[in-house]
Each structure stands twice: as C-alpha cells, then as structure tokens.
Amino acid sequence: MDPLEALVAQIQGLSSSPGDLTRLHTVLKQADDSLRSESTRLAPILTQLDPSIHSLGFLYILEASMTGPVTKTQAEVVVPIVTRFIGACSTEQIRLAPDKFLSVCKRLKDQVMLLEAPIRGVAPLFNALRKLQASAEHLTPLHSEFLLLCLLAKCYKTGLSILDDDVFEVDQPRDLFLYCYYGGMICIGQKRFQKALDLLHNVVTAPMSTINAIAVEAYKKYILVSLIRHGQFSTSLPKYSSSTAQRNLKNFCQPYVELANSYGTGKIAELEAYVKANAEKFESDNNLGLVKQVVSSMYKRNIQRLTQTYLTLSLQDIANTVQLNSPKEAEMHVLQMIQDGEIYATINQKDGMVRFLEDPEQYKTCEMIEHIDSSIQRYALGIFYVKLILINTITLL
C-alpha cells in the first residue's frame, strides 16, 4: 500500500477516542518530514478526510501542503480550503498541535494579503483565535494577526470585539506589543482616543531590555493621541516603565517631541509651520493624517479656553481669536464640538452669538465610566509589569 494511503487509513481509524488521537499524533509527528517531501501530492488527499472528524490528521496534511512559495492562482484555491477547515475543525484536536494550527493560520493571512483581499481572512482568524484560546484571558499569537487584517480591511468595529477582553496570560512578549499597537491603531480609526491611549501606553511601558521598532512606532502615536485627547504630553514615563524606554524612546521620536513642544505654546501658526516643514517625515511614518488631527485639536483647545473666560462671544470674535478663516468656519468647529460633547453651548443664528453653558456631566454616563475604568486598568497593569520585572530579576539571581 502507498505510504500516503496507509497514513490516510490511520487518520480515518484513529480520530475518535482520546487514546486513539494520542497514538495518531505520534504517527503524524513521525510522518511529518515525509509529508513535506510529498507536498505537491497532498491536496487531493484532503478530499478523503472530514475536517470536523479528522481534524488532527487534516491539519498535518494541510500544513505540509502549504510549504513553499505560493502564486495568486494557488492562493485562490487554498484560501477557501483553509477557511472551511478553521470553521469545521475540532477544538480539542487542533489544540494537540497548536504550532501546526498557528502555521496554517499565519499562512492564510499571508495568502489573503497576496490576493490583496485581507477581509477574506478576518472571520477565519477570529474563529481560529477563539478555538486556540485556553480562556478569554489568554492572548494568542493570532490576536495580532487578526487585528492586522482588520486594520488592512478597515474592519475597525470587528477588531474592537477582542479589545475589551481582559488579558492576563501571554505566550510571548512580542504578541502583547503587537496586540496593543494594532489595537491602538484600530481605536484611532474609530476615534476612541482614550482606549487607543491606554493600549499604546501598554506598549511603551512594557518591560523591555532593548528598544524595539514596535515600541518606537507606538511612542510616536502615543504622543499624537495624547495631544488630541488631552491637549498635552509629558516625556516622563511612569516609574514602572523600563529604564531602557525612559532613557531612549524620546531620542528615536524627536520630531514628535518637538511637535508636542510646539503644541504646548498654543500658537497655531507656529504649529502649522512646523507640520509643514516636517510633513515628509510624518508622511513617511504614515502619521500625517493623525498629525493633521493634532492641528485640528489645537483649534478645539483654543475654543475650549474661551469657555473659561467668556459667557458669550460672537462667531467673528472666535474666528479672530483662534485664527480661523471666517465666522462660518468657527461655527462649524463649535457645532462639531457641541455634538462631540467637548463644550456646552448654544448658537443664536440671528446675531451669530455663542452662549457657553455649564458642564452638565453627572459622572454616570457610559463615557465617564469607561474613563474611570481605563484609569483603574492602567493602574492594575502597572502592578502587573512591576511583578513581571521582579519575577525576571529573581529568576536571574
């Protein structure tokens, strides 16, 4: 009998009980090298197996068949097969070979990107990470791959679905860095700036012995989002941050630190001049759109300062004070800020006067509760990092 036919027969006969699966796993591990050498013959064999019943054997053969470079034509064939497998496979069986499952899922991500159709990988990877998770608190290597596809496909709301999970179990530090970085970008896309700030904060304050590219890029966005959300930025990181980050991060992000310094002056003309002079740098970092939001937020901050001084003010006076081009443009900014809950005011359309009102916040809205909750989570994460650093130190001793 052909060795491949014999292996298929064993997969079909040893996929029912836990004891049989243990024996089958031993057989598959022994056959792994020979399967890879026969990779071009494996695709037809998959039709003889049921992915929901023979999940472990199907996984080994599928993973071996996906070795080597792939063309777009081949990817069009393989992507539906992998998608169906992920949806149908037995959670118990694929967890026996998590590395194989991760390999298949990552190759799926690569192939949908090759096809320039990242959205085709979003649902399968969501299913895959849920099947791989030991618990809802477990961060798998697939979380960051899923978030990356959500970003590329602009499926921001879908990406948000996993960002509210509490994470306490991480396989590799890099998984946490990428999860928080991509998650921060998704929250930026949804204009959930406080949540984005919390996730980016996790990256720049995480334990690190050397500066890594993820932390540098996260710090750039952390500066920009801080300015948009709070109108200020401090280069001082919390004490539980690594000494490496505290000493070196700002040196890799000097144009952004200088942008924050310019923002702090409150002079819109100087800020716009600085942005114009450094536009090429910001664009090469793919941050120019976010930088423009920073500039827009300065107009908002300057309007907010007016609410602390005046009870009423004309749209013309607002435009003159914050250096907007016209009363109409001032009206657009004020209306948007009222809609976003950033100021409380009414506009008299007849005389163009704006009346500023008291803040009606009762500290029981969903937004306020989320803000308080994020502060508590940041405090808890700081304790988690301190414990992690202590554990690492004790281990080294």
Helix (H, G, I), strand (E, B) or coil at 138: strand
Q: What is the pLDDT of residues 44-90, one digit of tens each?
A: 999 999 999 999 999 999 999 998 889 999 999 999 999 999 999 99
Strands 138-139 and 169-170, bridge-based pairing: parallel
The stretch 366-382 carries a mean pLDDT of: 60
- Residue 275 clears pLDDT 60, i.e. is over it: yes
Q: What is the pLDDT of residue 397?
A: 41
- Residue 394 clears pLDDT 60, i.e. is over it: no
pLDDT band for position 39 (50/70/90)?
confident
Q: How many CB atoms lie within 10 A of CB 69?
A: 6
Helix (H, G, I), strand (E, B) or coil at 231: coil
- Residue 362 clears pLDDT 80, i.e. is over it: no
Indicate the DSSP class of residue 236. P
Q: What is the pLDDT of residue 342?
A: 86
Q: What is the pLDDT of residue 124?
A: 98
pLDDT band for position 393 (50/70/90)?
very low
Q: Which residue spans within 301-377 are E strands per DSSP?
A: 312-314, 345-348, 353-356
- Residue 196 clears pLDDT 70, i.e. is over it: yes
* Cβ density class 180-208: b for 16+ within 10 Å, e for less: bbbbbbbbbbeebbbbbbbbbbbbbbbbb
Is 227 within 8 Å of 196 (Cβ atoms)? no
The mean pLDDT value of the chain amounts to 90
The stretch 89-95 carries a mean pLDDT of: 97
- Residue 20 clears pLDDT 70, i.e. is over it: yes
Q: What is the pLDDT of residue 71?
A: 94
Q: What is the pLDDT of residues 117-172, one digit of tens each?
A: 999 999 999 999 999 998 989 999 999 999 999 999 999 999 999 998 888 888 88
Residues 6+ apart with CB under 8 A from 194: 229, 370, 371, 374
Estimate the crossing angle of helix 173-189 against helix 141-153, to 10 degrees: 20
